[in-house]
């Protein structure tokens, strides 16, 4: 099989934010996962777990979304500031009815982002919050000084305003965010976003409109009909900078989604087929957006995506704690390749969720930490961040199809980019469970001087546990040879490769 890389035809930039993450007050994502408090015996800096922060820094996490999810539309930010012992305690009715004591709030979130080195993305409360509450929060975070909100922030220990890059106006307002019909949400969106003020012209806040669940194109159509506005002459933007889309996949069987680790080959093909389905979603939501916004000023922000399996046996089902196998890694590899290839419209994506919830990159148990196969995919793909997309096309013998009777799919899938130093990254996934793949990668202009790569592979249901944390890990790609006009790569069955070529 040949893969032609057309470097002379560079496309747009792969925004780093495509490699973003999502954190919610849900189960052990925040408490225990990211934050343990300053008095914990688990090593921490200002309450943030050092081991987790270190592992996230290695991924170069570009953006982190918080505080939800469904939790966002019942979160009242003023409950989470000031002395911790005086903070209001609420019931987290979205996730298990736990008492949320708000010890992780706005200041802690910005501290976490500082330590990780990522941009903050805050999701505001439309479902049960007021316009004033939202506008006060933005003022609290970003106004310099003098106003009551800015002075309150300063009194709480943060002298300078924070840089807030992204603000979401509600979450899933068609469901947990208020069960709204599209027009009702659209009208609220227009109003609420008006008061997401930018106090520092040098640092505008990008406003993200709550979008559709998966293939609900009707929501997109009706929200755009009500909310789209061309920017006025001296404005960069109309009513929105981004439009959110959520998409989950897993092996759904009746009321159960299926086990994360014990699944059949049929479940594997089903899940991969679901993962590939995101491309149609991007095309069809994108086609609606194109009619209003042909210049693609508005980003599609896929700010929740990933595999949703049954919770691990013996854990609280409301905590959505699941293991993570090579199947999940394959879903991540296919999905990130698709996002790269659609970077003209997809400007942000946040995998759900960063630690201990759904398709996490990290699992923790007390002081222990495990990197999941999905962590390795994000690590292998990190050099795509900020690079220019270059088109790749398979040619030569017909692409082998694999799968089962219901779901046939190409054996190989790819994306490629070139970074500012001229280094080309090609990421390849071989989804076959029993066939290796030999790929002759050919460049239209590059005469490769150096090539090296890494590989992730293993049994499809292999995973890293606290007992055996290193079953799946990134290793050197040995099946790699440089040729005059390209490289030859051999991928074992069920594997993902990242090749760097100079
Ligand atoms: O990520 C878990 C939940 O999935 C989020 O809270 C919600 O937005 C979505 O339905």
User: What pLDDT was estimated at residue 397?
Assistant: 61
In a domain, 455, yes or no: no
Average pLDDT on 367-373 reads 98
> Does the beta carbon of 250 sit less than 6 angstroms from any atom of ligand 1?
no
> Does the beta carbon of 303 sit less than 6 angstroms from any atom of ligand 1?
no
In a domain, 227, yes or no: yes
- For the ranges 4-13, 398-407, 444-453, the lowest mean pLDDT is seen at 398-407
User: What pLDDT was estimated at residue 183?
Assistant: 97
User: What pLDDT was estimated at residue 404?
Assistant: 79
Instruction: Name the strand (E) or helix (H) holding 416.
Output: strand 412-418
Instruction: Name the strand (E) or helix (H) holding 3.
Output: strand 2-5
The Cα–Cα gap between 139 and 154 comes to 12
Q: Quickly list H helices, 249-381.
A: 265-276, 278-292, 326-341, 373-381
In a domain, 465, yes or no: no
The Cα–Cα gap between 82 and 93 comes to 23
Please name the residue whose Cα sits nearest to atom 4 of ligand 1: 69
Catalytic: 24? no
The torsion of the CA quartet 360, 36, 38, 73, rounded to 10 degrees, works out to 80
Angle between helices 50-57 and 106-116 (to 10 degrees): 50
Answer yes or no: are the C-beta atoms of 323 and 365 closer than 8 Å.
Answer: no
User: What pLDDT was estimated at residue 346?
Assistant: 98
In a domain, 89, yes or no: yes
Instruction: Name the strand (E) or helix (H) holding 108.
Output: helix 106-116
Nearest ligand 1 atom to the CA of 353 is: 1
pLDDT value at 235 more than 90: no
pLDDT value at 250 more than 90: no
SS3 category, 4? strand
pLDDT value at 249 more than 70: yes
Work out the widest C-alpha separation in the chain, in whole angstroms. Answer: 69
Q: Quickly list H helices, 103-257.
A: 106-116, 131-142, 148-155, 182-194, 217-227
**Residue 67, preceding peptide bond in cis (omega within 30° of 0):** yes
CATH number reported for the structural domain that contains residue 257 in this entry: 3.20.20.80
User: What pLDDT was estimated at residue 366?
Assistant: 97
Instruction: Name the strand (E) or helix (H) holding 476.
Output: strand 475-476
In a domain, 376, yes or no: yes
> Does the beta carbon of 177 sit less than 6 angstroms from any atom of ligand 1?
no
The pLDDT tens digits for 284-312 are 999 999 999 999 999 999 999 999 999 99
The pLDDT tens digits for 70-100 are 999 999 999 999 999 999 999 999 999 999 9
Please name the residue whose Cα sits nearest to atom 2 of ligand 1: 69
- For the ranges 111-125, 208-222, 402-416, 424-438, the lowest mean pLDDT is seen at 402-416
User: What pLDDT was estimated at residue 107?
Assistant: 98
Nearest ligand 1 atom to the CA of 248 is: 4
What is the whole-number distance in angstroms between the Cα of residue 277 and the centre of ligand 1? 19
What is the whole-number distance in angstroms between the Cα of residue 243 and the centre of ligand 1? 16
- List the one residue out of 435, 411, 419, 410 whose CA is nearest residue 384: 419
> Does the beta carbon of 123 sit less than 6 angstroms from any atom of ligand 1?
no
- List the one residue out of 195, 199, 307 whose CA is nearest residue 247: 307
User: β-pairing, 437-443 with 486-491?
Assistant: antiparallel
Please name the residue whose Cα sits nearest to atom 9 of ligand 1: 69
CA distances (Å), origin 93, targets 25, 97, 176, 357, 389: 11, 5, 11, 17, 43
Q: Residue 334 — pLDDT band, cuts 50, 70, 90?
A: very high
475: Cα separation from own chain's centroid:
24
The pLDDT tens digits for 106-133 are 999 999 999 999 999 999 999 999 999 9
Catalytic: 172? yes
Burial state string for 385-405 with b = 16 or more CB within 10 A and e = fewer than 16: bbbbbbebebeeeeeeebbee
What is the whole-number distance in angstroms between the Cα of residue 70 and the centre of ligand 1? 6
User: What pLDDT was estimated at residue 254?
Assistant: 65
In this structure, what DSSP letter does residue 456 have? E
Catalytic residue among 24, 100, 304, 474: 304
> Does the beta carbon of 352 sit less than 6 angstroms from any atom of ligand 1?
yes
User: What pLDDT was estimated at residue 470?
Assistant: 97
pLDDT value at 403 more than 80: no
Answer yes or no: are the C-beta atoms of 501 and 446 closer than 8 Å.
Answer: yes
The Cα–Cα gap between 101 and 92 comes to 10
User: β-pairing, 242-249 with 299-307?
Assistant: parallel
Of the two residues 403 and 367, the one the predictor is more confident about is 367
Answer yes or no: are the C-beta atoms of 53 and 384 closer than 8 Å.
Answer: no
The structural domain count of the chain equals 1
User: What pLDDT was estimated at residue 395?
Assistant: 85
pLDDT value at 479 more than 70: yes
User: What pLDDT was estimated at residue 253?
Assistant: 64
Mean pLDDT of the chain: 95
User: What residues make up the domain containing 347?
Assistant: 2-26+58-389
Nearest ligand 1 atom to the CA of 358 is: 1
Q: Residue 398 — pLDDT band, cuts 50, 70, 90?
A: low
Answer yes or no: are the C-beta atoms of 167 and 204 closer than 8 Å.
Answer: no
Answer yes or no: are the C-beta atoms of 379 and 333 closer than 8 Å.
Answer: no
In a domain, 448, yes or no: no
Catalytic residue among 172, 235, 252, 440: 172
In a domain, 88, yes or no: yes
> Does the beta carbon of 69 sit less than 6 angstroms from any atom of ligand 1?
yes
What is the whole-number distance in angstroms between the Cα of residue 121 and the centre of ligand 1? 16
User: What pLDDT was estimated at residue 402?
Assistant: 79
Please name the residue whose Cα sits nearest to atom 5 of ligand 1: 69
User: What pLDDT was estimated at residue 400?
Assistant: 72
Instruction: Name the strand (E) or helix (H) holding 244.
Output: strand 242-249
The secondary structure of 209-233, three-state, reads ECCCECCCHHHHHHHHHHHCCCCCC
In a domain, 425, yes or no: no
In this structure, what DSSP letter does residue 112 have? H
The backbone region for 478, taken as left when phi is positive above 0, alpha when psi lies in -120 to 50, beta otherwise, is alpha
Burial class (CB within 10 angstroms; exposed 0-12, middle 13-18, buried 19+) of 366: exposed
């Amino acid at each position: 099989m040949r893969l032609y890389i057309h470097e002379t035809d560079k496309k747009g930039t792969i925004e780093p934010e495509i490699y973003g993450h999502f954190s919610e007050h849900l189960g052990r994502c925040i408490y225990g996962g990211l934050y343990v408090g300053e008095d914990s015996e688990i090593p921490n800096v200002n309450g943030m777990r050092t081991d987790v922060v270190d592992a996230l820094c290695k991924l170069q996490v570009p953006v982190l979304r918080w505080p939800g999810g469904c939790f966002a539309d019942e979160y009242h930010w003023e409950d989470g500031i000031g002395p911790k012992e005086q903070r209001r305690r609420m019931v987290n009715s979205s996730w298990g009815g736990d008492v949320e004591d708000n010890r992780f709030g706005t200041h802690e979130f910005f501290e976490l982002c500082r330590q990780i080195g990522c941009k903050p993305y805050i999701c505001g409360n439309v479902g049960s919050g007021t316009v004033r509450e939202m506008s006060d929060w933005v003022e609290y975070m970003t106004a310099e000084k003098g106003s009551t909100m800015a002075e309150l922030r300063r009194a709480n220990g943060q002298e300078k305003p924070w840089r807030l890059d992204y603000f979401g106006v509600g979450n899933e307002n068609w469901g947990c965010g208020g069960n709204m019909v599209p027009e009702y949400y659209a009208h609220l969106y227009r109003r609420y976003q008006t008061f997401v003020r930018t106090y520092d012209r040098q640092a505008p806040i990008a406003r993200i409109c709550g979008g559709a669940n998966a293939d609900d194109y009707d929501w997109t159509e009706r929200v755009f009909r009500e909310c789209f506005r061309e920017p006025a002459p001296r404005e960069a933007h109309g009513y929105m900078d981004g439009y959110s889309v959520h998409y989950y996949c897993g092996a759904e069987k009746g009321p159960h989604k299926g086990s994360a680790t014990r699944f059949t080959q049929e479940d594997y093909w089903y899940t991969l087929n679901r993962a590939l389905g995101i491309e149609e979603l991007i095309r069809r939501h994108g086609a609606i957006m194109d009619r209003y916004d042909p210049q693609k000023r508005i980003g599609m922000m896929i700010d929740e995506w990933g595999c949703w399996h049954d919770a691990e046996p013996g854990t609280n089902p409301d905590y959505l704690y699941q293991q993570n196998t090579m199947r999940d890694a394959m879903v991540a590899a296919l999905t990130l390749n698709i996002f790269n290839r659609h970077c003209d419209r997809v400007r942000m994506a946040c995998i759900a969720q960063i630690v201990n919830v759904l398709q996490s990159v990290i699992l923790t148990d007390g002081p222990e930490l495990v990197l999941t196969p999905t962590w390795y995919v994000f690590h292998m793909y990190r050099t795509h961040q900020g690079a220019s997309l270059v088109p790749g096309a398979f040619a030569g013998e017909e692409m082998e199809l694999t799968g089962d009777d219901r779901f046939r799919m190409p054996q190989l899938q790819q994306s490629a980019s070139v970074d500012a130093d001229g280094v080309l990254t090609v990421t390849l996934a071989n989804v076959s469970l029993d066939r290796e793949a030999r790929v002759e990668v050919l460049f239209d202009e590059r005469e490769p001087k150096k090539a090296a790569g890494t590989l992730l592979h293993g049994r499809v249901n292999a995973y890293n546990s606290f007992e055996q944390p290193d079953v799946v890990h990134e290793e050197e790609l040995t099946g790699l040879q440089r040729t005059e006009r390209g490289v030859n790569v051999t991928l074992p069955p069920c594997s993902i490769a990242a090749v760097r070529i100079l």
